[in-house]
Amino acid sequence: MHQTSLNLEQLRQSLRSSQRPLADWQGGEMAVSAVPGAGKSHSLSVAAAIAIAHHGLHNQEKLLIVTYTRSAAAAIKGKVNQRLQALGLPSLGFAVQTLHGLALSIALRHPEISGLDPEQQTLVSPQRGHRLIKDAVEQWRRENPKTYQALVEAGNFDGETTETLRRQAVLSTEVLPELTKIVVAEAKSSGLSPQDVTDMGRIAPGSELLSMGAGLFKHYQALMAAKNWIDYNDMILAALRVLQDPHLCRQWQEQFFGVFEDEAQDSSPLQEKLLTKLAQNANGTIRLIRVGDPNQAINSSFTPADPVYFNQFCRRCQALGSFATMDQAGRSNLQVIAAANFLLEWVNQDWQTRFSGPKANTTLPFRPQAIRPVEPGDPQPNPPATDGGVEIHFPQDINQEVEQIRRRLVPLLLANPHHNAAILVRENRQGRFVADRLKDVEKDGGLKVLDVGDQDRNSRIPGEILSLLQFIDRPHSPDLLKATLTVLQERQLIPTQDLNALAAVPEQFLYPTPLMSPLSSLAVSAQGLCRSLLKARLELPAYQLIAFLGLALNYDSSDLATLQKLSERLQVQTQPERSLKNLLSALHTIANDEQFEAIASDSDEKYTRPGQITIITMHKAKGLDWDYVFLPFLHQDTLPGDLWVPKGGQFLGQFTLAEVARAQIRTVVHHRQQQKAGAIALPVTATAWQEARRLKEAEEYRLLYVAMTRAKRLLWLSAAQEGPFAWNQMQARQSPRLRAKEPSRALLALQKRFGS
């Protein structure tokens, strides 16, 4: 026993001073706010091993560790096992699960209460273009003809037939599907029903939008039930239904000594409720540690996750004296740390200056917590800086920008083959542009270039082929024509233009009469491609259409390998008759089956191999790090940029219905989470839109912070003086048209502070 205590103290002493409060936890609620590179996973595994050994935990009463991805769960499980083995203890007394895996296991154990039956129900994750959402929109439209017509006639409406059809296309394929997706996700993640959202719409005058969202939500739920489908929020709701039974709840609570949650900044209210319920013991005490970094919350503008919830938990624990900041990090050199800290302070100060006043939203983009270097003698010392550690450049144009990256990066990796590098971009189109211009690096320099965006594009292949085949089968459908034009535009095969205007009357677009106004040059190229697809339908048998479409979409070798895998699967599923009808039916199932994967497989090790240049989005880079990190294209219209109102939907106003609804729902949920008394002041449209814009801006700055803190030895930031008007308007294999671009204000501030 004495030796075990000695070993535990040695294990505790191996942690940094800022990590030890986690290992000293004895019970109750605790919040740990950790900076980038602070060693969350390592310290979490050490704290888990100490708790297991100290309390003598076993498989009948174990520590539950929850994270959000399978890869993270596997990594933490391996680390805890290593710590237990070092202590001479068996690999018992703990369980590591993803949050949704945990919810599913609870729900499936008691199907009579949860209502989940895996043999009868299918898990889906509907996006805006999913058939389910389209059907919900159509049912709502039929049920609310007056409201729908009011939307069609909004703004300056002249009643002209073509404009009416165009607006109807925008509403049915963009505005209402996006509103449905956002309202469903925001409401369900907070445990709200369609009736709850309806009640919100009655709070104040001018909140009819939430009534509309509630109707769409109601039809969505009805269709899900009719098809025996469930989504990820349904899994958590099902688990909570089980835990509402006092006897079953006690059974589950008795299995767990306590709960550790990783990446807590990405939790929704529903997820927090589930973990808090499981962490409560018989006398009402909650044993819950939540570890996260609100400054790395980069999903709140497109998922229900919001750092405000974790920040609220931190404040509650701070009042209880059970809050700690894990603020020492050995990942980056001192200059990178200084730059990241400066960005945090500058953004918060700028925010307070611009949004001051009694009615201002006082929530700052960043939690005020600086990164501190590690202490001397740390086993993971801060690495030495390469040259100055931080470099900032303003090349003439984006072509010169990539060339400067090549000239700086290639010699570094050739001289240091055991090091690695990454070029982090804001969107995949930028990544493709960089990859196209670095193709010869592999051949001439012997370095590997990995464009991670290629894998993301490959995973969309079933959906793209389905869209084109559906159009070939029913070319008179405006929705199907628009879906095909969208695929062609995203693959950069046709110029960016108003697709709703082209798709409103398919016959007039595809085969105009001489009396009609001639098509624009942009539309003519799109028309030609669509006609070639219809011609192939007449000339080729159904089973050859898949290969033809791959060529028509200009798939590269990686795309074609994935397409071949898809084709082989379709051949099996359409036997013995490979008709177009059977092909469409099988492909529709595959396109909505999350089990279909591209040929290339993901692994963190693949992204960080020595001697490799990884081109990856800033979002996907979270959790990874490289010796040399390059951040190009840091322009003001991108970082932070602004919320985009599609030109086709501007007849509704200079805002989007979905973002306004999101802001209104979050206002109500935040009010409830904070348990405030009194009536809720639901923001009107203009106020809600401004709040949505601030949410977007704050998250973009946090994304830049995450990208900067990926760097170990060198951080290279740049913004060319000339770039494309919009990256989605760049055509493949063509020199882009450039215009003057403003660098991000954050980059200018960094240049003033760290520039040579």
Domain contains 115: no
Helix axes 232-243, 99-109, angle to 10 degrees: 50
Domain contains 452: no
Residues 87 and 147 in one domain: no
Residues 622 and 710 in one domain: yes
Average confidence (pLDDT) over 606-622? 93
> What CATH number should be reported for the domain holding residue 321?
3.40.50.300
Local structure of 276: helix, strand or coil: helix
Residues 249 and 103 in one domain: yes
pLDDT of residue 564: 83
> What CATH number should be reported for the domain holding residue 580?
1.10.486
Where is pLDDT greater, at 539 or 747?
747
Residues 153 and 93 in one domain: no
Of all residues in the chain, the percent with pLDDT exceeding 90 is: 54
41 is in an annotated binding site: yes
Give the whole-angstrom CA distance, residue 522 versus residue 667: 43
Residues 385 and 432 in one domain: yes
User: Which of these three, 267, 302, 328, is where a domain ends?
Assistant: 328
Give the whole-angstrom CA distance, residue 666 versus residue 672: 10
Whether 601 has a pLDDT exceeding 60, the answer reads: no
What residue type is assigned to position 584 of the chain? L
246 is in an annotated binding site: no
pLDDT of residue 389: 95
Domain contains 139: yes
Indicate the number of domains in the chain: 4
What residue type is assigned to position 78 of the chain? G
Instruction: For tokens 């700690």, name the residue.
Output: 324
Which DSSP string corresponds to 54-93? Answer: HHT-BTTBEEEEEESSHHHHHHHHHHHHHHHHHTT--S-S
Whether 594 has a pLDDT exceeding 50, the answer reads: no
Looking at every residue in the chain, the average pLDDT score rounds to 88
Average confidence (pLDDT) over 362-383? 91
Whether 206 has a pLDDT exceeding 70, the answer reads: no
Instruction: Determine which of 31-35, 200-204, 435-439, 460-464 has the lowest per-residue pLDDT on average.
Output: 200-204
Domain contains 603: no
514 is in an annotated binding site: no
DSSP state of 357: S
Instruction: For tokens 């609870």, name the residue.
Output: 106
User: Which of these three, 328, 355, 388, is where a domain ends?
Assistant: 328
Average confidence (pLDDT) over 111-127? 80
Whether 736 has a pLDDT exceeding 80, the answer reads: no
* Residue 478: partners with Cβ closer than 8 Å, 6 or more residues away: 165, 169, 503, 504, 505, 506
CB 11 within 8 A of CB 87: yes
Return the sign of the alpha-carbon dihedral for residues 455, 457, 460, 465.
Answer: negative
Give the whole-angstrom CA distance, residue 302 versus residue 242: 29
Domain contains 602: no
38 is in an annotated binding site: yes
Strand pairing category for 612-617 and 448-451: parallel
Nearest to 99 by CA among 273, 226, 247: 273
Domain contains 596: no
Residues 530 and 467 in one domain: yes
Give the pLDDT band of residue 176 (cuts 50, 70, 90): very high
Residues 411 and 513 in one domain: no
* Residue 599: partners with Cβ closer than 8 Å, 6 or more residues away: 458, 558, 561, 562, 565
Which DSSP string corresponds to 490-540? Answer: HTTSS----HHHHHSSHHHHHS--TTSPPPPHHHHHHHHHHHHHHHHHHHS
Residues 632 and 716 in one domain: yes
Helices (H), 261-380: 269-278, 307-320, 334-354
Domain contains 606: no
Give the whole-angstrom CA distance, residue 379 versus residue 39: 12
34 is in an annotated binding site: yes
Residues 727 and 702 in one domain: yes
User: Which of these three, 173, 204, 227, is where a domain ends?
Assistant: 227
pLDDT of residue 494: 87
37 is in an annotated binding site: yes
Two tokens, residue 743: 């660098």
Residues 105 and 242 in one domain: yes
At 228-266, the pLDDT tens digits run: 888 889 999 999 999 999 999 999 999 999 999 999 998
Which DSSP string corresponds to 629-668? Answer: EEE---BTTTTT------GGGGGG-SS-HHHHHHHHHHHH
Residue ranges making up the domain that contains 527: 457-591
At 644-684, the pLDDT tens digits run: 888 888 999 999 999 999 999 988 888 776 665 556 778 88
Residues 461 and 405 in one domain: no
- Taking phi over 0 as left and psi of -120 to 50 as alpha, with beta for the rest, 641 belongs to left
DSSP state of 136: H
Instruction: For tokens 């083995």, name the residue.
Output: 85
Local structure of 247: helix, strand or coil: helix
Domain contains 497: yes
CB 574 within 8 A of CB 582: yes
DSSP state of 106: H
DSSP state of 368: S
pLDDT of residue 116: 84
Residues β-bridged to residue 98: 67
* Residue 114: partners with Cβ closer than 8 Å, 6 or more residues away: 106, 107, 108, 238, 239, 241, 242
* Residue 617: partners with Cβ closer than 8 Å, 6 or more residues away: 424, 425, 426, 427, 428, 431, 452, 453
Residues 466 and 394 in one domain: no
